[in-house]
């Protein structure tokens, strides 16, 4: 059994690590907040004092942290994974970060004999808990095949997209499509209300046709009910959209729908809504049109 290291034990990382532990793998964990690791330690995981210590004791190290600078610090920092990299070991980064940074880290790790897979996930906290995540993977095919049994403990849809960085490109595309769909739902439901028609009834009718989607089902319900308690916090979609827009700019591709959605997320962030549910985007549209 591979010895597994896991760094980043938040809403997503904690249940993912627990699945690997329950599969029988020795598990070493590191968390900046010790309380995040408590449930895993009680289940049999071992604590390590730094990412370096995790890497020294692991065959495969998973990371699931917030953004590009955080991953770079965990991997390349003074006490980072690279300092404890063991030849033949693998780093699997499940965070959502910039593809260029991923490729650079993979190159630096390879110089130390450690392979890297970028493996961002989609499915949210529920998908992590139920091990039904969609996992999009970039890296060498032979490394992907080695790690595939671990991915199968975490997700249902597992696709090797291409070389290093390709997984992050796929996740950027996922987020672009997701967030522009959220924008479309917010616009449509706001329009229904402005026309004097019950948005909840409109949503119910649309759920039976081609406009139906998981976004309309879950976030559309939140929009019509005004339920903006944090589920998927808006700040994470704001962060991801800026990754996608940066990627589009590098590629010389215009993405006008995504740009409009990002602009509205900027407004939501400026209004202090970053910690609220992403469905709160509808309030930005209502305010901009004088609706409250």
Catalytic residues: 171
Using only the alpha carbons of the chain, give its radius of gyration.
Answer: 20
Kindly report the three-state secondary structure assignment for every residue of 27-87.
EEEECCCHHHHHHHHHHCCEECCCHHHHHHCCCEEEECCCCHHHHHHHHHCCCCHHHHCCC
> What is the spatial distance between Cα 241 and Cα 257, in angstroms, rounded to a whole number?
11
> Which residues on neighbouring strands pair with residue 168, listed in sequence order?
none
Q: Are 89 and 75 within 8 A, CB to CB?
A: no
Tokens found for residue 107: 């190159």
Burial 236-252 (b: 16+ CB within 10 A, else e): bbbbbbbbbbebbeeee
Nearest-CA neighbor of 236 among 281, 284, 188?
A: 281
Tokens found for residue 251: 């590629």
Tokens 């004088």, located at residue:
290
Tokens 């769909």, located at residue:
181
Tokens found for residue 92: 């699997």
- Which H/E stretch holds residue 176? helix 166-194
- Expressed in angstroms, the distance from the first to the final Cα of the chain is 57
């Amino acid at each position: 059994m591979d010895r597994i290291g896991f760094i980043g034990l938040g809403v997503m990382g904690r249940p993912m690590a627990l699945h690997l532990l329950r599969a029988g793998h020795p598990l070493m964990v590191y968390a900046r907040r010790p309380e995040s690791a408590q449930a895993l330690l009680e289940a049999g995981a071992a604590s390590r004092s730094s990412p370096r210590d995790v890497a020294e004791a692991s065959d495969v190290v998973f990371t699931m942290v917030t953004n590009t600078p955080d991953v770079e610090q965990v991997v390349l920092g003074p006490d980072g994974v690279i300092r404890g990299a063991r030849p033949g070991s693998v780093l699997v980064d499940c965070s959502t970060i910039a593809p260029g940074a991923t490729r650079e880290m993979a190159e630096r790790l390879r110089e130390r004999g450690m392979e890297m897979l970028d493996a961002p996930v989609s499915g949210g906290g529920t998908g992590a808990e139920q091990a039904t995540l969609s996992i999009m993977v970039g890296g060498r095919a032979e490394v992907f095949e080695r790690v595939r049994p671990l991915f199968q403990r975490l997700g249902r849809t597992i696709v090797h997209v291409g070389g290093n960085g390709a997984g992050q490109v796929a996740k950027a595309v996922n987020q672009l499509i997701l967030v522009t769909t959220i924008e479309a739902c917010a616009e449509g439901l706001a329009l229904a209300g402005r026309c004097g028609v019950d948005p909840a009834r409109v949503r119910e009718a649309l759920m039976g046709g081609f406009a139906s989607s998981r976004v309309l089902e879950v976030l559309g319900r939140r929009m019509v009910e005004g339920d903006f308690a944090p589920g998927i916090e808006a700040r994470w979609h704001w962060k991801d959209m800026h990754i996608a827009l940066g990627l589009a700019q590098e590629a010389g591709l215009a993405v006008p729908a995504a740009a409009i959605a990002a602009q509205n997320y900027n407004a939501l962030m400026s209004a202090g809504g970053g910690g609220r549910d992403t469905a709160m985007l509808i309030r930005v549209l209502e305010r901009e049109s004088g609706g409250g």
